[in-house]
Amino acid sequence: MTFYQSMQLGARELKPLIKDSEEKSLKRKYTTALILKSFLCILFCMVVVIFFSSVFGQENSIVGVVTILALLTFRFSNLDFNVKQSAFTILGIFVILILGPYLASISNPIVASLINFVSIFTIVTLSCHNIALSNHSILVLSYLLLYGYEVHDINIYINRIFGLILGGIIVAGIFYYKQRKVEFKNTFSTIIKDIDFKSERTKWQLKLSILICTGVLIGELIHLPRAIWIGFSCMSILQTSQDKLELRFKERPKFIILGSLVFAIVYLILPQAIKSNIGIIGGLLVGFSATYKWQTVFNCFGALSTAIPILGFEGAIIFRIINNLFGAIYTKAFDKVFNKIDDMISNRDVIDEEMA
């Protein structure tokens, strides 16, 4: 494996290689690759976000974040159908990112939840035909980020539209360039035809969409600040594997609390001049993290650093913990209820077929 190839690997792949390599030269190569990759990734993210902020306004820096997230995902991933059609589908998803979050943000919570459901279910259906690729996690995360970072000025929103158009073109273009030689049997029409509410895939897509939207809705109705954190928690914990869901249900609350406490200590210790860089430090540490629990810990850095100007130091930490705990408990309860209803419907269908 060349040094460049090793830099294409994530911490999850590189850390075992570092641990298992007997030769010091290999250990050094993989360690250097991990460190350099993490620094370059953060640097690249900063450059893109700064570019979008300078062109489309500081209020739309989140558009740069969304573009980066999609870019890092679709550099290697695919939508499991025809590449050219997939590229146009990515553009279509960015149109949803333009319209859905804004329309929801100017509506009352009930209407907003319906808009969010239609938007998120469409995104999940189009991007997650092969659930194992987990494309939905980045795209739904992007949707929720845009929903959470509201715009109330029409000029700022117009800039956001142009920013997302540019972001969509960049992501779709790089996706097509990277995947253009890959052949897929599926087409866009295959994805639409495969929507079947009796199939496990569609039922899971429906479950995820309802869970996220109702979780955020409840948070808004009881006036929890940063209700999108509930959506993040729901999406993170709900998995196709029940064992993985149970594991994340146990791990996420503990490590959210740990991450919030570590952030608090670091925030109080660091000089004022450096505090603005805590989010960057967190992003760098996420790059070094090979497990879900430590990624959860260090993701708190970025989330809390952006929430402090809105909620204050204590408020950000308190609601980071409360919202994630609520999201975890709600996901567990919702999963049980959804599965029971699904079993009842399935059993009724079996009885109807036998009687027919």
Task: List helix spans (H) across the chain.
Answer: 3-7, 11-20, 24-56, 61-74, 83-105, 109-127, 135-148, 154-179, 188-193, 200-221, 228-237, 242-269, 272-275, 278-288, 292-355
d(CA 18, CA 176): 33
Residue 165 lies in a domain: no
Residue 262 lies in a domain: yes
Residue 172 lies in a domain: no
Q: What angle is formed at CA 344 by the lines to CA 342 and CA 347, rounded to 5 degrees? A: 105
Expressed as residue numbers, the domain containing 278 is 232-356
The set of long-range contacts for 341-347, using a CB threshold of 8 Å and a minimum separation of 24, is: 342/203, 346/198
Residue 225 lies in a domain: no
Q: Per residue of the chain (356 residues), what is the pLDDT tens digit?
A: 777 778 777 777 888 888 778 787 887 888 888 888 888 888 888 899 999 999 999 999 999 999 999 998 998 899 999 999 999 999 999 999 999 999 999 999 999 999 999 999 999 999 999 998 889 899 999 999 999 999 989 999 999 999 999 999 999 999 999 999 999 999 999 999 999 999 999 999 999 999 999 999 999 999 999 999 999 999 999 999 999 999 999 999 999 999 999 999 999 998 888 888 888 888 888 888 889 999 999 999 999 999 999 999 999 999 999 999 999 999 999 999 999 999 988 877 666 666 65
Residue 340 lies in a domain: yes
- What pTM was computed for the model? 0.92
Q: Looking at the 3D structure of the chain, how many domains does it have?
A: 1
d(CA 228, CA 302): 14
Q: What one-character DSSP code corresponds to residue 297?
A: H
Residue 37 lies in a domain: no
Residue 175 lies in a domain: no
Residue 82 lies in a domain: no
